[in-house]
Amino acid sequence: MFGVQTRNEPDYLEYDIRGRGYMERLFFNCGASYLGFMLGGGVYGTVQGLRLAPANAPLRVRTNALMNGFGKHGATAGNAAGAVALMFTSFESMAESVELDKICGDQAWVRCSVFSVNA
């Protein structure tokens, strides 16, 4: 009644041994790397903008330099990291589809080498 089983059996969830699908990993990897590198590049751009702004400039000019630096460096770093994450996830998916683990055994350095050569 109302989704409760009447028998005393456990309710099993659907489980995929291969883990998350390609699109789920792609969205996570691209999003996480874009966000992280955008913030990191933004902090770097903020420091650069404040450093390059004239010392006796009004607050409005210094604020503009800060925002310009954040936007320039943050977007550049975020886009670059997102593109690398896209390539990494795609090559990882290809390696899983050709079952690289079965060919090379359980050696982590082989997968990293193949991914770096493909990137």
- The mean pLDDT of the chain is 83
Residue 14 within a domain? no
Q: Within 13 A of 95's CA, how many CA atoms are on the CB side?
A: 21
Residue 26 within a domain? yes
The one-letter amino acid at 13? L
Q: Per the structure block, which two tokens stand in for 99?
A: 């079952």
As a dihedral over the C-alpha atoms of residue 63, residue 65, residue 67, residue 71, rounded to 10 degrees, the angle is 180
pLDDT in the model for residue 119: 55
pLDDT in the model for residue 12: 66
Residue 30 within a domain? yes
Provide CB contacts within 8 A for 8, sequence distance 6+.
none
Residue 1 within a domain? no
Q: Per the structure block, which two tokens stand in for 27?
A: 């969205």
Distance CA 20, CA 66 (A): 40
pLDDT digits (tens, 9 = 90+) for 37-61: 999 999 999 999 999 888 899 999 9
**Residue 47 belongs to what domain range?**
22-118
Distance CA 56, CA 68 (A): 18
pLDDT digits (tens, 9 = 90+) for 72-103: 999 999 999 999 999 989 888 887 777 766 77
Distance CA 19, CA 87 (A): 19
Residue 5 within a domain? no
Residue 17 within a domain? no
Distance CA 46, CA 74 (A): 9
Residue 8 within a domain? no
pTM: 0.69
Look at the chain and report how many structural domains it folds into: 1
Residue 31 within a domain? yes
